[in-house]
Structure 1
Amino acid sequence: MSSKHIYRVVFYNRGHVYEIYAGKVDQSGMYAFVVVEDIIFGERSQVLIDPSEEKLKSEFNGVKRTHIPMQAVIRVDEVEKAGQNKIISDSDAGGNIAHFPMPMAPGTRPDNS
């Protein structure tokens, strides 16, 4: 088995569900964030080009690492090989996406007004 890990990260961003593949996923130094590094994109030699993957390539162009809010993460899977990165609209996902409750920072309390 190869020592290189590949992770599929599915998260909610601006009304869409993003599915990206990365070489490293870890807890961020910033409270309540997950850091994703080494985003893996498919080969450009393919005849068919997926517009959502091209949009992700342009969105993450030049990004060394990205910090995703913990409550936006739907799931993280370790996979054997990278698939195609994609953006799925909320309606395409069946509309059954529920946000995880936002964790409270230490020393804070909810507004009782």
Structure 2
Amino acid sequence: MASAERIFRVIFQSQGKIYEIYARSVSDGGMLGFVEIEELTFGERTQMVVDPAEEKLKSEFAGVKRTYVPMHAIVRVDEVEKEGQAKVSDSEGGNVTPFPMHMYGPGKGSD
């Protein structure tokens, strides 16, 4: 599979919601503690039905070249064969719990 054809499903938490988005590039970027997500894809496959939830997500990320998600908010990253439907759902009542994480930056450490 060529690099340009790779598709990643990224699931993360933000403001009490669970986001499931698809992108062509996911990396650790250069920002400590963040995951860099580039080339977001929304409904690029041919379809007759327009999903309002996906359209809302598409407008939320309109004009975004890349997004940085805090590492502790990432639930899962999968390389998939084809793009699925991007969606947002409430995390309340769900079974997703953030992974407890302590970040140590330059000049900070455990004494």
Quickly name the TM-score band, shorter chain normalised. Answer: 0.7 to 0.9
1:41 aligned onto 2:59: no
Q: What does residue range 14-93 of structure 1 map to in structure 2 within 5 Å?
A: 14-43=15-44, 46-91=47-92
Q: Which residue of 2 aligns with 1:108?
A: 108
* Percent identity of equivalent pairs: 55
Shift of 1:97: 1.0
Off by >3 Å, runs of 4+ in structure 1: 43-47
Opposite residue 47 of structure 2, the aligned amino acid is Q
CA contact 1:53–1:84 (8 Å) conserved in 2: yes
Shift of 1:51: 1.9
Gapped regions of structure 1 (runs ≥ 5): none
Cα deviation digits, residues 78-105 of structure 1 (max 9, x gap): 00000110011114xx521111123322
Opposite residue 29 of structure 2, the aligned amino acid is S
Relative distance call for 1:62 and 1:17 in structure 2 (3 A) is same
Shift of 1:47: 3.5
Q: Which residue of 1 aligns with 2:10?
A: 9
Number of matched residues? 108
TM-score, normalising length: structure 2: 0.86
Cα deviation digits, residues 55-88 of structure 1 (max 9, x gap): 1111100000000000000000000000110011
